[in-house]
């Protein structure tokens, strides 16, 4: 990835900054939206909810064009430091299709990157912003699910450090299971498995070479997971992958833990590849305490007795300081 383009980091998010809310996919529940807003405000952020967020049209949060313009408005607003997605569902593919059009793409290319965060169907949008514009994006808590559940729904300390620390990376010790031990370094890529598979054959096809690949999903039975992993492998997307981390995969098993069938499916999909594989990290669809992981930056995966993930650089940058140099006016000497 680094040889193709420069990674562009957004400005860090501080308490007191404004967070914009949009719904690029499905409609949201007003009660859960309000709960998520209260959580962000309790931390100390200002929240600006775009009117489109409450729109409804069939199984979308309003017409495709309206969702596109709402997102662009939030990204272009200089008073908004970050954009959080209210929920996933379905529909971000239409948003990405329209963002790829020349007029909208030119608007995006003129912008400095901003923090954009979500998961599930939002994977499509995060992948587009990362690969097309070089933005560091964030696989992290969704407003109407994780943030609305309070601190049992997401890892608040991790979220704030990932979005605010301009000096160092983040070290995470996870209770994930080691399926194949090893150590690997690469850039973080991936997201919701079914959405990544849906990019194949499109202009936004997922790039994976040199990556630590993040894969997660929900309510997909093991044979469906097998089919999607098979398709990614046949498409060459596992070539030169340095390591793989699977999410908790809720609803993707045939019974209670230890989820042997699903874990065997995963091991077979990466058979012959001497890379570390971990299973059960709480990113994306989760059972609580959702993690925030930046896509596009370098990280190190250590899978041994435990699973450790360390980002090797900050995901955000400091705001540019305004020059304090005063320009003195030149005065003509009297004759």
Q: Where in the chain is the domain with CATH 3.50.30.60?
A: 171-311
* Mean pLDDT calculated for residue range 75-93: 97
Place of tokens 């404004």: 18
How many whole angstroms separate alpha carbon 301 and alpha carbon 270? Answer: 17
Q: What would the pLDDT profile of 295-321 be if each residue is shown by its tens digit?
A: 999 999 999 999 999 999 999 999 987
Angle between the N-to-C axes of helices 92-99 and 102-109, in degrees from 0 to 180, rounded to the nearest 10? 80
* Backbone angles phi and psi of 8, in degrees to 5: -115, 120
Name the residues annotated as catalytic. Answer: 120, 216, 285
Residue 1 has pLDDT above 60, yes or no: no
* Backbone angles phi and psi of 307, in degrees to 5: -110, 125
Percent share of the chain, pLDDT over 70: 93
Look over the chain and give the mean of its residue pLDDT values, rounded to a whole number: 93
Residue 258 has pLDDT above 90, yes or no: no
Q: What would the pLDDT profile of 106-133 be if each residue is shown by its tens digit?
A: 999 999 999 999 999 999 999 999 999 9
Q: What would the pLDDT profile of 132-179 be if each residue is shown by its tens digit?
A: 999 999 999 999 999 999 999 999 999 999 999 999 999 999 999 999
Residue 259's pLDDT band, with cuts at 50, 70 and 90, is confident
- Say if CB 154 and CB 146 are below 8 A apart: yes
* Mean pLDDT calculated for residue range 13-41: 98
- Say if CB 61 and CB 26 are below 8 A apart: yes
- Does the domain at 171-311 match CATH 3.30.428.10? Answer given as no
Residue 113, helix vs strand vs coil: coil
How many whole angstroms separate alpha carbon 57 and alpha carbon 63? Answer: 6
Return the closest-CA partner of residue 212 out of 255, 172, 165.
172
> What pLDDT, on the 0 to 100 scale, is given for residue 324?
52
Q: Kindly state the tokens that stand for 93.
A: 């593919």
> What pLDDT, on the 0 to 100 scale, is given for residue 329?
40
> What pLDDT, on the 0 to 100 scale, is given for residue 256?
66
> What pLDDT, on the 0 to 100 scale, is given for residue 314?
98
Q: What angle do CA 315, 319, 323 make, to 5 degrees?
A: 150
Residue 323 has pLDDT above 70, yes or no: no
Residue 331's pLDDT band, with cuts at 50, 70 and 90, is very low
In CATH, what number does 18-152 get? 3.40.50.10740
Residue 248 has pLDDT above 50, yes or no: yes
Q: Where in the chain is the domain with CATH 3.40.50.10740?
A: 18-152
Residue 257 has pLDDT above 70, yes or no: no
Residue 207's Cβ-count burial label (10 Å; 0-12, 13-18, 19+) is middle
Q: What would the pLDDT profile of 178-205 be if each residue is shown by its tens digit?
A: 999 999 999 999 999 999 999 999 999 9
- Say if CB 112 and CB 5 are below 8 A apart: no
Residue 5 has pLDDT above 60, yes or no: no
How many whole angstroms separate alpha carbon 140 and alpha carbon 298? Answer: 17
Residue 12 has pLDDT above 60, yes or no: yes
Q: What would the pLDDT profile of 90-104 be if each residue is shown by its tens digit?
A: 999 999 999 999 999
Residue 123, helix vs strand vs coil: helix
For residue 103, say if its preceding peptide bond is cis, omega within 30 degrees of 0. Answer: no
* Mean pLDDT calculated for residue range 221-245: 97
């Amino acid at each position: 990835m680094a040889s193709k383009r420069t990674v562009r980091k957004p400005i860090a998010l501080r308490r007191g900054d404004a967070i914009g809310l949009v719904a690029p996919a499905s409609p949201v529940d007003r009660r859960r939206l309000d709960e998520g807003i209260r959580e962000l405000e309790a931390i100390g952020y200002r929240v600006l909810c775009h009117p489109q967020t409450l729109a409804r049209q069939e199984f979308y949060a309003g017409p495709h064009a309206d969702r596109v313009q709402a997102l662009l408005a939030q990204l272009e607003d200089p008073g908004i430091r970050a954009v959080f997605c209210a929920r996933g569902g379905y529909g971000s593919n239409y948003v990405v299709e329209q963002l790829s059009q020349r007029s909208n793409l030119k608007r995006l290319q003129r912008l400095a990157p901003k923090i954009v965060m979500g998961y599930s169907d939002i994977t499509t949008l995060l992948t587009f912003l990362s690969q097309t514009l070089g933005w560091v994006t964030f696989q992290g808590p969704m407003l109407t699910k994780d943030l609305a559940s309070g601190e049992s729904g997401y890892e608040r300390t991790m979220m704030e450090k990932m979005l605010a620390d301009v000096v160092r990376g983040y070290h995470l010790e996870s209770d994930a299971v080691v399926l194949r031990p090893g150590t690997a370094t690469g850039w973080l890529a991936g997201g919701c498995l079914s959405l990544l598979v849906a990019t194949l054959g499109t202009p936004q096809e997922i790039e994976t070479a040199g990556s630590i690949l993040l894969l997660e999903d929900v309510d997909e039975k093991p044979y469906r997971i097998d089919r999607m992993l098979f398709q990614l492998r046949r498409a060459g997307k596992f070539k030169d992958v340095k390591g793989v981390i699977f999410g908790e995969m809720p609803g993707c098993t045939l019974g209670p833990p230890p989820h042997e069938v699903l874990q065997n499916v995963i091991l077979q999909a990466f058979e012959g590849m001497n890379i570390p594989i971990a299973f059960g990290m709480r990113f994306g669809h989760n059972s609580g305490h959702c993690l925030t992981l930046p896509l596009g930056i370098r990280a190190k995966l250590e899978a041994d007795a435990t699973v450790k993930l360390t980002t090797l650089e900050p995901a955000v940058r400091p705001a540019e300081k305004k020059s304090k140099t005063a320009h003195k006016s030149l005065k003509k000497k009297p004759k």
